[in-house]
Amino acid sequence: MARPRKEQELDIPRRAVEETIRLLAQQGDFGVPLTAVAQAVGCTAPALYGHFRNKNALLRAARDEGFGRLYNEKFAVFEQMRGDPFGYLRDGSYAYARFALENPTLYRLMFSPPPKLGVSDDPWSSEAGRQVLSLLLTGLRSSQEHGYLPGADLQRYGFMFWSTIHGAVSLNIQNRLLDHAAKWDSTQSVIDALMEMIAATGPAKHPITS
Amino acid sequence: MARPRKEQELDIPRRAVEETIRLLAQQGDFGVPLTAVAQAVGCTAPALYGHFRNKNALLRAARDEGFGRLYNEKFAVFEQMRGDPFGYLRDGSYAYARFALENPTLYRLMFSPPPKLGVSDDPWSSEAGRQVLSLLLTGLRSSQEHGYLPGADLQRYGFMFWSTIHGAVSLNIQNRLLDHAAKWDSTQSVIDALMEMIAATGPAKHPITS
DNA sequence: CCAAGAACTGAATGACATTCAGTTTGAGGC
DNA sequence: GCCTCAAACTGAATGTCATTCAGTTCTTGG
């Protein structure tokens, strides 16, 4: 058996990424054997080398796919929330956190990749992350136009905003003493506190204390 | 050559941890070969198994040592800042950020360890992290006694505070497009913004805008 | 001085990633 | 329909570690 017949042809690149993400979640670790991916796809390990330079390239592809999925989820919320930038900031953050907590290993691959992935060597790899950030900045800019964060340096606040949520999500993912619900509550509490602070700067529609 | 003579006896456990941390920093990756650690220590790889159950145990020890060093640095600032809780929060955060940016790989090992380390299986492993957090909470409590954050839920704000700094540090460590100075500036900016927010809740000694 | 055990070492073993030569199939030219 | 070639794989190495184990050499208590 060598080259497969047309009927059995399978879209290895796409399926490999898909299965890698699935195995990443299943094993909770980046150390997924290429052999396991190949088996899940239905080919042998060397066959993957026809589509990816090496294992790192496959993980990079999975990472990019992760950014794509995260962007899509955030973008869906964005579309749904047109006209309510404050609501977008809140629900977009929830969506972000939910994605992270539901795909912890993929999230770790996206934001704490092992340096050997050579992520920074590839100009495309940070591009997806930048898109996610730009979505946040758009939300902040709109919020500012609606009276929130008057006079604030959005670049600066945007990074702080992202840092807070990324930090909360990371710490909660890492803390294995908490179950899923507890992680979510803890993360949501941080997001809510953040939103309260922003609300406090706004046109006084949202009261500071409940 | 088998058992070493007393003169050549070397404190393998301590030296192994030390060299592991050094190699971690040098290689910028958790994938430090045990052989390399052994060579740096001056013994063979199997000799390490007399002191650590396996490589993960060695990495856990390095991680604990990292928490110890971080705690020491924060504690030094704490002692130095007695009577100025707001100053402690600021300088303690700087110390935390400096530690993270100067030991990026060790920091990653401490806060984004590969799950296979089995970190959560060991009740001691989170203890050190908890001490660092309790130092922060003490700072917040003192700040509250001095008039800042009136009525705030410290547990909640403490976690948010930590999340923000951890997030900023993590994102900056990960961004390889920035050089060391730029990472530091970016992180400091986040800390300053955070401190401004806390100052704004205080006894009006610290003006909100510069 | 001796026995027992401590502390290592060198030589396997085993899991993977990665490479390579060889095989089979799809497609285009005739 | 047949032939040739490149594409797409496969099975069998190779190399890099982590980990184990049997065997060797010190140290120490008697």
User: The domain that contains B31 carries what CATH number?
Assistant: 1.10.10
B14 and B68 housed in the same domain: no
Q: Per residue in B165-198, pLDDT tens?
A: 999 999 999 988 889 999 999 999 999 999 998 9
Distance between CA atoms of B130 and A22, rounded to whole angstroms? Answer: 33
CA end-to-end distance (rounded Å), chain B: 69
User: Which pLDDT score is estimated for B2?
Assistant: 59
Q: How far is the CA of A8 from the C1' of D10 (A)?
A: 15
pLDDT attached to residue A6: 55
B39 touches chain A (CB under 8 A): no
Please report whether residue B23 resides in a domain. yes
Return the pLDDT at B133. 87
Rounded Cα distance between A48 and A40, Å, is 12
Asked if B167 reaches chain A (Cβ–Cβ under 8 Å), the answer is yes
How long a stretch of residues is chain B?
210
- B58 occurs within a structural domain: no
Token digits of residue B69: 């060093």
Residue B33 included in any domain: yes
B177 touches strand C (CB under 7 A): no
Is B21 within a domain?
Answer: yes
Give the residue with greater pLDDT, A80 vs A202.
A80
Check residue B190 and give its pLDDT.
97
The mean pLDDT of A110-124, rounded to a whole number, is 79
How remote is the C-alpha of B167 from its chain's centroid?
13
Q: What pLDDT is stored for residue B10 in this prediction? A: 62
> What's the confidence (pLDDT) of residue B73?
95
A177 shares a domain with A108: yes
In total, chain A counts a number of residues equal to 210
CA distance A10 to chain B (A): 32
Together in a domain, A47 and A14: yes
Distance, in Å, from the CA atom of A114 to the CA atom of B24, rounded to the nearest integer, reads 12
Domain-located, residue A105: yes
- Residue A53's pLDDT is 94
Site from A101, A105, A163, A198 to mutate, B interface, most B CB atoms within 10 angstroms: A163
CATH (domain of A133): 1.10.357.10
Q: Is the pLDDT of residue B200 over 90?
A: no
- The reply to whether the CB atom of residue B2 sits less than 7 A from any atom in nucleic acid chain C is yes
The reply to whether A29 and A74 lie within a common domain is: no
* One domain for residues A48 and A83: no
Domain carrying residue A153: 63-199
- Put simply, the answer to whether B193 touches A29 (Cβ < 8 Å) is no
Give which of A178, A68, A188, A187 is closest to A129, Cα–Cα. A68
Nearest partner of B196 among B92, B101, B86, B95, judged by Cα: B86
Query: Does the structure show a pLDDT above 80 at A120?
Result: no
Residue B208 scores a pLDDT above 70: no
Bases along strand D below 7 A from a protein CB: 7-12, 16-28
* Residue A43 three-state SS: coil
| Percent of chain A clearing pLDDT 90 (strictly above) | 73
C-alpha distance from A167 to closest chain B C-alpha (Å): 4
Residue A206 has pLDDT above 80, yes or no: no
Q: Does residue A164 carry a pLDDT above 90?
A: yes
| First and final C-alpha spacing in chain A | 69
What whole-number distance in Å separates Cα of residue B44 and Cα of residue A120?
35
- Does the pLDDT value for residue B66 go beyond 70? yes
Based on the fold, state whether residues B151 and B117 are members of the same structural domain.
Answer: yes
How confident is the model over B76-124, as pLDDT tens digits? 999 999 989 999 999 999 999 999 999 999 999 999 999 999 876 555 5
**Residue A208 binned pLDDT confidence (cut-offs 50, 70, 90):** very low
Q: Is residue A128 located within the same domain as residue A33?
A: no
Is A195:A164 a contact under the CB 8 Å cutoff? no
Residue A204 maps to a domain:
no
DSSP string for residues in A150-207:
TT--HHHHHHHHHHHHHHHHHHHHH-TTS-HHHHHHHHHHHHHHHHHHHHHTSSSSS-
Q: How far apart are CA A174 and CA A149, in angstroms?
A: 32
Q: CA-based diameter of chain A, in Å?
A: 71
Q: Does A49 touch chain B (CB under 8 A)?
A: no
In a domain, B109, yes or no: yes
Q: Does A29 touch chain B (CB under 8 A)?
A: yes
pLDDT score, position B113: 93
Is the per-residue pLDDT at B59 higher than 80?
yes
Quick one: A82 and A180 in the same domain? yes
pLDDT in tens, A32-61: 999 999 999 999 999 999 999 999 999 999
How many Cβ atoms sit within 10 Å of the Cβ of residue B22?
15
Contact B28, A115 (CB under 8 A): yes
Residues B185 and B89 in one domain: yes
Q: Are residues A96 and A46 in the same domain?
A: no
Q: Is A182 on the interface with B (CB under 8 A)?
A: no
Distance CA B83, CA A135 (A): 43
The reply to whether B19 falls in a domain is yes
Q: How many domains does chain B have?
A: 2
pLDDT at residue B12 is higher than 90: no
Res B205: pLDDT: 55
B110 and B20 belong to one structural domain: no
Q: What is the mean pLDDT of residues A120-125?
A: 56
Q: Which of residues 46-75 of A touch strand D (CB under 7 A)?
A: 46-47, 50-51
pLDDT band with cut points at 50, 70 and 90 for residue B210: very low
Average pLDDT in chain B: 89
What's the pLDDT score for residue A3?
56
| Residue of higher predicted confidence among A17 and A133 | A17
Query: In this complex, do A166 and B162 lie within 8 Å of one another by their Cβ atoms?
Result: no
Q: Give the nearest chain B residue to A168 (CA atoms).
A: B163
Cβ contact A187:A164 at 8 Å = no
Which has more confidence, B123 or A84?
A84
Same domain, B79 and B132: yes
The pLDDT value given to residue B202:
76
Q: Which of A5-19, A170-184, A196-210 has the lowest mean pLDDT?
A: A196-210
State how far the Cα of B150 lies from the Cα of B30, in Å rounded to an integer: 43
The pLDDT assigned to B175 comes to: 86
Calculate the angstrom distance between C1' of D23 and CA of B5.
18
